Each structure stands twice: as structure tokens, then as C-alpha cells.
Amino acid sequence: MVDKDAVIVAAQSEGQFTKAYDYDLIVIGAGSGGVRAGRIAAGYGARVAVIEGDRPGGTCVIRGCVPKKLLVYGASFAGEAEDAAGFGWQIEGLSHSWSDLIAAKDKETARLEGVYRTLLKNAGADLIEGWGHLKGPHEVEVGDTIYTAKRILIAVGGQPSTPDVPGLAEYAITSNEALDLHKRPDHIVIYGSGYIALEFAGIFRAFGSKVDLIYRADLPLRGFDMDVREHIAEALRDRGINLISGRTIAEVKKTAEGHVVTLDDGSVLSPDEVMAATGRAPNINGLGLEAAAIETNARGAIKVDEWSQTSATSVFAVGDVTDRINLTPVAIAEGHAFADTIYGDMPRAVNYDAVPSAVFSQPNIASVGLSQEQAEEVYGRVQIFESRFRAMKNTLSGRPEKTYMKLIVDADTQKILGVHMVGPDAAEIMQGMAIAVKMGAKKSDFDAVIGIHPSAAEEFVTMRAPRA
């Protein structure tokens, strides 16, 4: 690894652009981070090639957050239809076509794939279709052709990771396949408790599937704020999802009727489908990292410095393959910063403080900043402001579900350290909260704001008394 000055000096003294190689920059991976880096670099005048062995757009656009969010939208109409009766709507003969939804989703992802192709073309970057393998610090092999570049950027993302359980890898689907099921399962077992598991549990349950959610811990969403974890667990149960906590899957078998899932306590479930949602791992298999002496950590993530530079000075990496903050907007920010630094004479590193995130479960979860547990560890004394309330919509719909909001405040400085929400439109509301946290807002700043009434968001500026 080298420091900032070395990165910049190298870019300037050696020249960003050279005819000594086929390209100034080769990007391996046409996902969000790779495409952003490639087209920004090309905009600065670099000769750029982007290599992709699957479909341009990457995980987020093709098999991740975008198609999954479309299914979340589709699933939400089931709850809207139920709630409508409380407002006088009489809806009879309600039905749903799973195949029509999947077809519509596929049409949209195909459109977005075309957008990504166009972005690269309009930027003047070459799209090379095929799997890229490193042959050295300046060489990438695609098929029988070796391409050379002054610099290489690895942006290949992550892939589903399945634990070593007999029959699980063989018979279980992952998030990749869950988005393309031709038939909605009547009964699905989902193994895991992270955001992917919760999102798909909500999707399948809303469309009418029986859902068993199995996980080792006492509560879902390890690493999230404890109050958020407790609240979402209650909400999932209220939505009809069967939470089986403190358990692991011992074995999965396939039968003519479906699957047989045996848990570690000997109990047996018989679902139509089994889904492994047990995390993701850096997608480095077959990448040829050893050819360029690129170092990885214990999880297989590519080690990088703050400038996204690997142990090979000509090779950089961004996005989930580095296992920093595995979010699409972060990968985009890293790719853009890389291009600005190397090709735009605007050196900058990504600031990872106060990165907001959302879980599109039902109900939604969104957070920015520290959890209470993290804040207490770092700052010691903190104040907690929270609100649990039944949203106005639910008073007529009859839905018992409550929204939960939480502010974590440094007791000494009154600075807002963390903001958390479980409830409808949590992600939309949290984006504004993230701006405030990023700017260093204090509790008095929130108190000085007049709320929008009636709205859920106003609760964030009307919490006056800290939790005892």
C-alpha cells in the first residue's frame, strides 16, 4: 500500500494516459461501481475497457436491490388492499399473477441493462463481454485474448455464501434464484436473519406463502440497534412470519413433494422451497489475484488502502469485493473517487462516516450513525429519545402495527449520534436525517424545527424527554 502523495505523484509523473498499453484503465465488472469509475475516467480522456462476464448492471440492477425492491412494491399492495376496507373500499375477487410480476420485473431489468450499456458507450468506453482473469499487474485475459492496461480496477462485487450444511448448497435457492422463481412457493423456509432474509420473508409472506424464518441468534439483524431488532421481530410475527430463533439447519433433503428440512433440535419442516440467505462473500473465485500478488483478508476480501489501491500498485478495487461497507451507493462513491483521483486531478478519498442504510422489510427499517450499543462504547454517556406510535393510517385500517423511532444523543455535547426507524417510508425519511447527522446536528437543532403535521416524520422533531 502507498500513501496519498505516492498515488498522486505516480499518476502525475508517469502520466495518466499512455500508448504503452491497450488501455489506460481496464475495469473488471460492469456493476454500479465499475461502470461509474469507467465512464468518469473515460470522461477525463482515459482509454477505458469494462469487462463483464454476465449482464451489465451487476448485482444491484440485475439480481439485487432493484428487482428485489420491485417485488417489495408488488408485495406492499397486499397490505394496501387489506387496509382499504377500513376506509370504505369493498374489494372483491382480488387475485395476483406471480408470473406476470416476474415478467414485468424482467422487462425492467432488461431496460436498465440497456441503460448501463448506453452509459458506457456514450462515455467512449469499450464493453468487453466475457469473464476477465488477471494474468499479471497490467494484464487481463478474456477468452483467448489478453488485454493490457496501465491500471486495473476490480469491481466484481459479492456472491451468496452458503454454510456447509448437508444438502443446503445442493437443494436451497439463494437470492439470485428467488428473483426468478416461475412459481410462488406455498411454503418456504428461509435460513438467515440479515437484510436479505427479512426482505424476502416479507415478500413471500405478503404474496400468501407460509414463511418459516430460521436463525441462530435470539433476534434478527445482528449488528443493528437492539431496540430496532426487538421491534422488527415483533412486527414480523404480527405479519404472520414464523420466527424460529436459536436454531440451525442440520440437513436438507429433496423429495418428490418438495423438501425435508431437519433442524438441530431434531424438528422437521416440509416446505416447497428452501432459501439460504446466510450472507455474501467477495466474488474472487477465478479472478487470478495471485497472478498480480494481490492480498486478501481472512474473508477473501481484497485488501485496499483509503485510495482503493491494492498490494499491487497498478491494481485498485472498489465495492463489495473489498468488504468495506457493502452498499451500492458506497461502491458508486468509491468508483467515482478513484476516477477523480487518478484521472481528474481531484484527489479525494471516500468518507465512510454516517452512511445511511435501509432494510426493505415489511415494515421498512432505516438507520444512520451509531447504534445505542456502539454509541455507549465510544461515547460513554448517551441519551435516548424514542417514540412508539400507531400510524394514523392504521387507526382506520385496524392494523395494530406500530412505528418505532429512536434518536441517540451524546449526553455531553448533545450531538446526534444515531437515528433509527422501523415503519412505513423509513428509507425516504432517513435520507433527510442522514444529511442532518452528516452535518453534525445537535438535539437542539432538531427541537428548533417545526414538524410537518400530520406526518410520521414530525416525530423526529417532537421528542422532548429522554428515556429514563
- When pLDDT is averaged across residues 378-395 and rounded to a whole number, the result is 97
CATH class for domain 168-277?
A: alpha beta
Q: How would residue 6 be classed by pLDDT, with cut points 50, 70 and 90?
A: low
- Per CATH, 4-61+100-160+281-343 and 357-461 having the same topology is answered no
Please work out, in degrees rounded to the nearest 5, the angle formed at the alpha carbon of residue 294 by the alpha carbons of 142 and 144.
Answer: 15
Q: Which residue has the higher pLDDT, 241 or 92?
A: 241
Q: Is the pLDDT of residue 18 over 70?
A: no
pLDDT in tens, 124-178: 999 999 999 999 999 999 999 999 999 999 999 999 999 999 999 999 999 999 9
- 83's enclosing H/E stretch is helix 65-84
- When pLDDT is averaged across residues 424-453 and rounded to a whole number, the result is 98
Residues sharing a CB contact under 8 Å with residue 272, sequence separation 6 or more, in sequence order: 185, 186, 187, 188, 258, 259
Q: Is the pLDDT of residue 13 over 50?
A: no
Residues sharing a CB contact under 8 Å with residue 128, sequence separation 6 or more, in sequence order: 49, 50, 51, 52, 142, 147
- When pLDDT is averaged across residues 373-402 and rounded to a whole number, the result is 97
Residues sharing a CB contact under 8 Å with residue 110, sequence separation 6 or more, in sequence order: none
pLDDT in tens, 197-236: 999 999 999 999 999 999 999 999 999 999 999 999 999 9
- When pLDDT is averaged across residues 250-265 and rounded to a whole number, the result is 96
User: What are the domain boundaries of the chain?
Assistant: 4-61+100-160+281-343, 168-277, 357-461
Secondary structure of 105-168 in the HEC alphabet?
HHHHHHHHHHHHHHHHHHHCCEEEECCEEEEECCEEEECCEEEEEEEEEECCCEEECCCCCCCH
CB 291 within 8 A of CB 134: yes
- 383's enclosing H/E stretch is strand 382-389
| Average predicted confidence (pLDDT) for the chain | 95
Q: What is the pLDDT of residue 12?
A: 44
Residues sharing a CB contact under 8 Å with residue 29, sequence separation 6 or more, in sequence order: 50, 51, 52, 58, 132, 154, 155, 156, 157, 319, 321
Write b or e for each residue in 240-265: b if 16 or more Cβ atoms lie within 10 A of its Cβ, otherwise e: ebebbeeeebbebeeeeebbbbbbee
- When pLDDT is averaged across residues 88-116 and rounded to a whole number, the result is 96
pLDDT in tens, 306-357: 999 999 999 999 999 999 999 999 999 999 999 999 999 999 999 999 999 9
Q: What is the pLDDT of residue 157?
A: 97
CB 341 within 8 A of CB 8: yes
CB 123 within 8 A of CB 138: no
Q: Is the pLDDT of residue 444 over 90?
A: yes
- When pLDDT is averaged across residues 370-379 and rounded to a whole number, the result is 98
Q: How would residue 17 be classed by pLDDT, with cut points 50, 70 and 90?
A: low
Q: How would residue 19 be classed by pLDDT, with cut points 50, 70 and 90?
A: confident
CB-neighbour burial class of residue 334 (10 A; exposed 0-12, middle 13-18, buried 19+)? buried
Q: What is the pLDDT of residue 7?
A: 55
- The residues annotated with a catalytic role in the active site are 453
pLDDT in tens, 49-85: 999 999 999 999 999 999 999 999 999 999 999 999 9
* Helix and strand totals (H; E) in the chain: 14, 21
φ/ψ of 353, rounded to 5, equals -75, 140
Pick the CATH number of 357-461 from 2.40.100.10, 3.40.630.30, 3.60.15.10, 3.30.390.30: 3.30.390.30
- 79's enclosing H/E stretch is helix 65-84
Q: How would residue 288 be classed by pLDDT, with cut points 50, 70 and 90?
A: very high
Nearest in space to 280 (alpha carbons), one of 107, 156, 116, 375: 156
Length of the chain counted residue by residue: 468
Task: Give the C-alpha separation, 112 to 117, whole Å.
Answer: 9
Q: Is the pLDDT of residue 194 over 50?
A: yes
Task: Give the C-alpha separation, 114 to 124, whole Å.
Answer: 15
CATH number, domain 4-61+100-160+281-343: 3.50.50.60
C-alpha of 54 from chain center: 20
